[in-house]
Structure 1
Amino acid sequence: QKTRKVYQKAASKSILLLYCLSLAVGLSTFLTDNTAIIILNFIALFLLIVSILLLSFANTTGWDFGDYLKEVFLTALLSVGYIGKPTSDMKAYLEREKNNGKSKTRYVILGILLSVPLVVILAALLSSADLVFARLLAKIFHFNAADVFLFLLLFFFGLYSAYCGIRYVADKDNDFEKPGHPLREPLPVIILSVSVSLLYLLFSLVQFLYLFAGGLQLPGGITYADYARKGFFQLLLVCILNLLFVLLVKKKIQKSRTLDILLLTISCCTFVMIASSALRMYLYIRAYQLTFLRVFVLVALFTLTVLFVGVIIKILHERFDLLRFGVAAIGILYCLFAFSHSEYFIARYNLTHPGVSGEIDTYYLLYNMSADAAPAIVALHQKAVGSSAPSRYQEDPYQEDGYQENLRPSYEDPAEEMDPEPTWYQDYTERIRRKVSAMEGSPFTFNVSIAIAGHVLR
């Protein structure tokens, strides 16, 4: 009966969406060489798998983000206590199958044992009959022992830990119900919200006067870079605190029309703060170019915007499931970001927009750009020097499209004039070629982004 209930839940649209997001995150790992994205993908896969388990076994009606995060943490922590369950359950299963005269398990094992040597013999015969087929098999089965060991270790660890998680949430099925708590008097929170709303309205007015409607005019003595750097992270923190405050009030405080209006005011002012944060980051990027962290922050701001849209809907419609909306929104936006190959656009922007210093940060390109950026870097470099460039840049091609003379080598030794490539470019391409060489010959380390970079560098 419990199994039937789990299957019914597993067929729901929410869980199917999580399955699709999990597959998308796994696929994006295969398509990118960005280490930060790969690490974030592992974290995202963990959260998605735990979310699938919770939605399959637990009644999440009435949960908020706090309940969800608490259960994710407890599931990951307390599943360790079930570390012996996979072996004991397997032993019990085999014992039951042994006593069951109609069991097909022994025949499955027998079929596997017979098929393995037969396939090996046939493959050897076909390889000797066709050299092309022989080379194909040799390339496919040319494994690195360390790669095979790591693959098997991660596979069985994932399988084992997933089963421990399933046993934990299955045993805790009835304990997931969240008992209702008496809601508190709204008057103190209304007074607090009035003062906060007035402060936020004043701040929003300042943003409109000096940033939005004022044509980005700042008071004398304040540069755009200083204005952006000093205010961005504070505003981001305030936006997150606003989100937590609104969610906490909706969970703990009695419903009040006055309070809802104040929460709507705070939410609308938060949109102004998010816009101000994004504008500050834009000014900072214009001055100091792009980095992966700055792009990630912009994505986080957009995600906050989407979440606050859900918060406003929740304030207006009490029955709106904000948790499912939030999980779906965060998952979809993250997948789009993971598939975007952001480093390609970072490299393209930085090479064509030198910034206020007039110089391009080649150190960042050399040591922080992965193979994802190779198509942009190689294309712009080839466009700058030309496919048949002379030993000295007579036509000054770096002046085109903002790809300025910053990337042109400065020759102190006349002998260096014969080298048409900047040193950083040589070092970057050599590093990517080493990645391509390390990837070749093992299917366990194949990566689409590195393969494309290798093709571009030929």
Structure 2
Amino acid sequence: MSSKLTIDQWWILLWSLFLGFVLDKLIFIPKAGISYVIFVILFYIVFFIVLRNLSFYNRRMGNFLLICILVLSTNYFLYDQNGFYLLNFLVIPALMFLHYLLRIQPKSTSSFFTPQTLIPLGLKKLTMSVNQNVYLFKYCTRLFSRNMDEQKRKVWSKIFYGLLLSMPLLFIVIALLMSSDLYFTTIMTQIPTWFTLISANTVQDILIVLLFGCLFYGFFQAAFVYTETSTSDNPGLIKGFDQIVVMTLLILLNLVYLFYLVIQFAYFFNGDLAEGFTYAEYARRGFFELVTVTMINLTLTVLILHFVKQDHTFYKKSIQILLSFLLGSSLLILISAFMRLHLYEQAYGFTFTRILVHAFIIFLFVIIIYTMMKVWLQRLSLIHFYILSALIFYCTINIINIDGIVVDRNLERYTLTGKIDLNYLNQMSDTGKLGLIKLYQINPDVTGLEDLVVAIRGEKLQNQSGEWQSYNLTEEQLIRKLQELTIN
């Protein structure tokens, strides 16, 4: 490694600090809205500028991931869904890191999307990023201490390292002490006011810019270093599980499923409750069946397809038939779970979780159908399809506005039965509150509805953030409706 930074490296550092600044102003705010999608767009502009001299690979899959990232980030601007707000703060960076790995490595997507490839590659790039920052720190230390003698330089370096290592421990200890003593908490919260030259918020902003600027710098620098990845489909494991053992296992498991289906077939599709069960118990049993399908049948099928050596025509056909029956039983159980959950919703109403489970059942249905095709068409790739379909599913449930579906279905249920859970709609995002306003316009005499609407209007109009970074279309629509609303 060179003893000094090149012009290109200085530019990468400046671009990285710019991204750290943008991140601080657009993401580290009380509530992200349009700012999230702006940050993603700015990040990829910088990404392609900084790495413009690098050859990009796996373009088709990379573009697909980029579309998914943009769709998920746009969700912060279009909707106000509490269920996805925090989750996407983890999912979007994870997809961006996956996109980064995919585009900089000259490997085909067929061999890339395996744990044996992704995990080691991600760890190597993370290590490279840390090493790049260590080198940057050492270089800056030499730059600012060039007039010191070697002994003083070592002393100051050790002091700085000691301060750096002590920060996490000090943070934990101070937090514990503040939680144990109210007076100590009061004193600690007043400390920032002792310094008039620089505020606590400014210190926080500087730390965020430096921390994430160094993070971006490390990964940009690591992108220029090609990393060898394992292309072995099955390292450390041998395809040689005994076929007779597997057939025995499948026969016993299928007999259990056959016995289970025969017993329950009388009420499997008739839409009535089993004797002695409440709606809640009925739905829980359906969900347990769903978990059983995903954890046992699919996992077992994938393991058998991947690790069983099928070198005899009779055994191969027998295993294919047994796996098809196993997956067919799984489809019937999924249908049963879907119908039971529908009965539960008719009785108790619609929620975000129940609609999400419905969508997840449909997703599993597609997965099982494809897996059944894989049983007979061995050239198909399971892992590749699973990842693609999972990304499409996740982006779809983000963009279709599940909260809006929940509100519409509950209002439809109200027109049919006169029943509605006002408190649940009020606890939802702004979409739920829009539903309450719509209900008030339909029937303002619903018990307790007017008080809720008045409270929502007072709270929402009083607590508008006014920050452009938090701008959200759903919130803007709610404020406009509240301003136009006439309370009887």
- TM-score, length of structure 2 as denominator length: 0.65
Is the Cα–Cα contact under 8 Å of residues 121 and 227 in structure 2 kept in the other structure?
Answer: no
Aligned to 1:126: none
Aligned to 1:285: 345
Question: How far has the Cα of 1:244 moved from its partner?
Answer: 1.4
Deviation string 1:406-428 (CA, Å, 9 cap, x unpaired) is: x334xxxxxxxxxxx52223223
Deviates more, 1:72-81 or 1:368-377: 72-81
Give the distance between the partners of 1:432 and 1:206, measured in 2 at CA.
54
Aligned to 1:247: 302
Aligned to 2:447: 408
Is the Cα–Cα contact under 8 Å of residues 280 and 344 in structure 2 kept in the other structure?
Answer: yes
Q: Which structure has more RCO (C-alpha within 8 Å, separation ≥ 6)?
A: 2
Aligned to 2:74: 27
Which AA in structure 1 matches 2:376? L
Which AA in structure 2 matches 1:245? L
Give the distance between the partners of 2:136 and 2:92, measured in 1 at CA.
26
Are residues 273 and 232 of structure 1, via their aligned partners in 2, closer, same or farther at CA, if it must alter by over 3 Å? same
Aligned to 2:110: 61
The secondary structure found in structure 2 opposite 1:299 is helix
Question: How far has the Cα of 1:297 moved from its partner?
Answer: 1.4
1:369 to 428, 438, 442: 428
Unmatched 5+ stretches in structure 1: 93-144, 386-392, 394-406, 410-420
Aligned to 2:41: none
Is the Cα–Cα contact under 8 Å of residues 374 and 456 in structure 1 kept in the other structure?
Answer: no
Are residues 354 and 154 of structure 1, via their aligned partners in 2, closer, same or farther at CA, if it must alter by over 3 Å? farther
Are residues 150 and 4 of structure 1, via their aligned partners in 2, closer, same or farther at CA, if it must alter by over 3 Å? closer
Indicate yes or no: 2:48 matched with 1:9.
no
Give the distance between the partners of 1:362 and 1:153, measured in 2 at CA.
44
Give the distance between the partners of 2:473 and 2:358, measured in 1 at CA.
26
Are residues 173 and 65 of structure 1, via their aligned partners in 2, closer, same or farther at CA, if it must alter by over 3 Å? closer
The secondary structure found in structure 2 opposite 1:26 is helix
Indicate yes or no: 2:321 matched with 1:261.
yes
Is the Cα–Cα contact under 8 Å of residues 274 and 301 in structure 1 kept in the other structure?
Answer: yes
Are residues 208 and 422 of structure 1, via their aligned partners in 2, closer, same or farther at CA, if it must alter by over 3 Å? same
Aligned to 2:259: 202
Question: How far has the Cα of 1:321 moved from its partner?
Answer: 2.0
Are residues 72 and 179 of structure 1, via their aligned partners in 2, closer, same or farther at CA, if it must alter by over 3 Å? closer
Indicate yes or no: 2:468 matched with 1:443.
yes
| Mapping 1:344-355, distance limit 5 Å | 344-353=404-413
Is the Cα–Cα contact under 8 Å of residues 457 and 482 in structure 2 kept in the other structure?
Answer: yes
| Mapping 1:121-200, distance limit 5 Å | 160-161=214-215, 164-165=218-219, 173-178=227-232, 180=234, 181-184=237-240, 185-200=242-257
Which AA in structure 1 matches 2:469? F
Give the distance between the partners of 1:146 and 1:455, measured in 2 at CA.
36
Deviation string 1:195-241 (CA, Å, 9 cap, x unpaired) is: 111222333344542131xx224443334443223x02311210111
Is the Cα–Cα contact under 8 Å of residues 26 and 45 in structure 1 kept in the other structure?
Answer: yes
Are residues 307 and 455 of structure 1, via their aligned partners in 2, closer, same or farther at CA, if it must alter by over 3 Å? same
Aligned to 2:456: 428
The secondary structure found in structure 1 opposite 2:110 is coil
Which AA in structure 2 matches 1:17? F
Which AA in structure 1 matches 2:349? Q
Deviation string 1:47-83 (CA, Å, 9 cap, x unpaired) is: 3223323433255535776547xx3598269726732
Are residues 10 and 203 of structure 1, via their aligned partners in 2, closer, same or farther at CA, if it must alter by over 3 Å? same
Give the distance between the partners of 1:446 and 1:146, measured in 2 at CA.
26
Is the Cα–Cα contact under 8 Å of residues 228 and 281 in structure 1 kept in the other structure?
Answer: yes
Give the distance between the partners of 1:354 and 1:383, measured in 2 at CA.
11
1:222 to 268, 271, 277: 277
Deviates more, 1:218-227 or 1:321-330: 218-227
Are residues 172 and 9 of structure 1, via their aligned partners in 2, closer, same or farther at CA, if it must alter by over 3 Å? closer
Is the Cα–Cα contact under 8 Å of residues 374 and 453 in structure 1 kept in the other structure?
Answer: yes
Question: How far has the Cα of 1:46 moved from its partner?
Answer: 2.8
Aligned to 2:161: none
| CA RMSD in angstroms, aligned pairs only | 3.7
Give the distance between the partners of 1:451 and 1:445, measured in 2 at CA.
10
Are residues 449 and 355 of structure 1, via their aligned partners in 2, closer, same or farther at CA, if it must alter by over 3 Å? closer
Give the distance between the partners of 1:66 and 1:147, measured in 2 at CA.
41
Which AA in structure 2 matches 1:233? F
Q: Percent identity?
A: 21
Aligned to 2:292: 238
Give the distance between the partners of 1:41 and 1:191, measured in 2 at CA.
44
Deviates more, 1:161-170 or 1:315-324: 161-170
Are residues 207 and 358 of structure 1, via their aligned partners in 2, closer, same or farther at CA, if it must alter by over 3 Å? farther
Is the Cα–Cα contact under 8 Å of residues 25 and 338 in structure 1 kept in the other structure?
Answer: yes
Number of aligned residue pairs: give it.
Answer: 365
Which AA in structure 1 matches 2:88? N
Give the distance between the partners of 2:290 and 2:204, measured in 1 at CA.
40
Is the Cα–Cα contact under 8 Å of residues 65 and 323 in structure 1 kept in the other structure?
Answer: yes
